[in-house]
Chain A
Amino acid sequence: DQQVKQNSPSLSVQEGRISILNCDYTNSMFDYFLWYKKYPAEGPTFLISISSIKDKNEDGRFTVFLNKSAKHLSLHIVPSQPGDSAVYFCAASAGAQKLVFGQGTRLTINP
């Protein structure tokens, strides 16, 4: 029973274009969502988050959108840069300081 799903295992985008990573969830009790970025041989690092009381949060080139009715969130990166090539994990919390992770999407930015 996977409560957080990232249906695209991989995504390839040209440098300078927009990257859109998607995430779906099933648990309506989730009230906080996060995106993590992971480089090879390193642990995941926090990128951006959004509370369920918002539908958008922006930080520089990164924007997260939340559609509660569709139980869907997305991460937009614009413009995409080669250093953005990594695995991106979506995570969700229903409180209790615990996160449920998706299986990740490998983003490759092509020059």
Chain B
Amino acid sequence: DAMVIQNPRYQVTQFGKPVTLSCSQTLNHNVMYWYQQKSSQAPKLLFHYYDKDFNNEADTPDNFQSRRPNTSFCFLDIRSPGLGDAAMYLCATSTILSGPANYEQYFGPGTRLTVT
């Protein structure tokens, strides 16, 4: 089955220690997204890639970086995690279709990050 996969599902890191979360997809979608979701809050878009074009949200801290080495993979790097970065990180994909607009996004199961 085509899907969005996130590894690991649970990640514990120390305050200030760099951490990388990964996302892969078998949908061959050209757009990939990273969201941060804190408890009982809306998922918040951090950035997205349209093919290789990186699009950062204006309020995404510099501490968050991303890489997309190919269509299938996308990484979220947190350079110096703080306690406030503990959250669920969701990866999603979508595709640009011809014809009527379709903004549906397909989500992975998320990685829950704990910062100690």
Which B residues lie at the A interface, using CB under 8 A?
Answer: 4, 6, 9, 31, 40-45, 48, 50, 90, 92, 94, 96, 100-101, 103-110
Contact = CB atoms under 8 A, between A and B. Distances in A.
Contacts of A2: 42
Contacts of B6: 43
Contacts, number: 58
A42 to B, nearest CB: 5
Contacts of B94: 97
Interface residues of A, number: 26
Interface of A: 2, 4, 9, 31-32, 34, 36, 41-46, 49, 51, 89, 93, 95, 97-104
B43 A32 contact: no
Contacts of A102: 42
Contact of B42 (A32, A42, A46, A89): A89
Contact of A104 (B42, B48, B101): B42
19 contacts: A9-B40, A32-B101, A32-B103, A36-B107, A41-B109, A42-B110, A43-B92, A49-B103, A49-B104, A89-B43, A93-B103, A98-B45, A99-B45, A99-B103, A100-B42, A100-B45, A101-B42, A103-B42, A104-B40
